[in-house]
């Protein structure tokens, strides 16, 4: 079972990807994690990617797909995998499709966790993080016991730059321009499934498992 997770930043697709991986005993493959592992291990592909990253440039699609295919060719991906964070654009999806076709493989499901922009802005701007121990809270859903103070270590909680409304809106704009076209791309292939990401996390997961069986 080969699955791609789609959805805007903050839609909760990473959380769902981990839950899918656990239930179906398949790896959760995050492109960020693969890059870090390759660079840490000093692989040839990792060193090539590092050249671009050190200059603040995006890693080219072909190289990203090479690193990805290297990961999914490993034994633990024999029964499938959940891709999180890739593809982000139509060209990436096309390169991935072409590479999988050569191996006689294809993606089985593209799952879109659908959440309206206004919900995402509210969801992310309500987050508060402890920079000391890494604990995270939400003013509405998981509030700290004492306002502005971390339950775990007693340090001050902050609104991270990433979670500020203007940053979130900018990330959403990029998502709509670059990534949302993938919804049409995978609809055309007959593998797109959309779930309502505004409901409780467990209800989102139940909707996904109903699709995957």
Query: Mind listing the pLDDT tens digit for each residue in 97-127?
Result: 998 999 899 999 999 999 999 999 998 899 9
Residue 53 has pLDDT above 90, yes or no: no
The mean pLDDT value for 46-60 works out to 87
- Set 50, 164, 171, 193: catalytic member: 171
Asked if residue 152 lies in contact with residue 179, where contact means CB atoms within 8 angstroms, the answer is: no
pLDDT of residue 188: 96
pLDDT tens per residue, range 153-196? 999 999 998 889 999 998 899 889 988 999 999 999 999 999 99
Our answer to whether residue 36 is catalytic in this structure is no
pLDDT tens per residue, range 11-26? 999 899 999 999 999 9
d(CA 58, CA 52): 6
- Set 127, 132, 164, 189: catalytic member: 127
Residue 145 has pLDDT above 90, yes or no: yes
Our answer to whether residue 160 is catalytic in this structure is yes
Our answer to whether residue 127 is catalytic in this structure is yes
Go through the domains of the chain in sequence order and give each one's CATH number.
2-212 (3.40.50.300)
d(CA 73, CA 35): 16
Beta bridge partners of 109: 3
d(CA 106, CA 146): 50
Beta bridge partners of 83: 4, 29
The mean pLDDT value for 60-74 works out to 90
pLDDT of residue 61: 87
Q: Could you identify the residue written with the tokens 């001050």?
A: 156
Contacts of 148 (CB under 8 A, 6+ apart): 128, 156, 157
- Set 36, 160, 173, 189: catalytic member: 160
Residue 62 has pLDDT above 90, yes or no: no
- Set 2, 13, 66, 71: catalytic member: 13
Our answer to whether residue 123 is catalytic in this structure is no
């Amino acid at each position: 079972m080969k699955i791609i997770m789609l959805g805007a930043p903050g839609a909760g697709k990473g959380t769902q990807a981990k839950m899918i991986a656990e239930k179906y005993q398949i790896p959760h493959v995050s492109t960020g994690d693969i890059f870090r592992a390759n660079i840490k291990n000093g692989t040839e592909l990792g060193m090539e990617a590092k050249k671009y990253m050190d200059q603040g440039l995006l890693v080219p699609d072909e190289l990203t797909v090479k690193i990805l295919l290297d990961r999914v060719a490993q034994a633990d991906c024999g029964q499938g995998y959940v891709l999180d964070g890739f593809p982000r654009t139509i060209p990436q999806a096309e390169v991935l499709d072409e590479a999988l076709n050569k191996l006689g493989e294809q993606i089985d499901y593209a799952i879109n966790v659908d959440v309206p922009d206004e919900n995402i802005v509210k969801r992310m701007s309500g987050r508060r993080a402890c920079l000391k121990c890494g604990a995270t809270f939400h003013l509405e859903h998981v509030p700290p016991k004492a306002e502005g103070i971390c339950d775990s270590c007693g340090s001050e909680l902050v609104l991270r730059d990433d979670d500020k409304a203007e940053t979130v809106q900018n990330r959403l704009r990029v998502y709509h321009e670059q990534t949302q076209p993938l919804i049409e791309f995978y609809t055309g292939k007959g593998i797109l499934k959309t779930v309502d990401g505004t409901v409780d996390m467990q209800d989102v997961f139940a909707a996904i498992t109903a699709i995957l069986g």
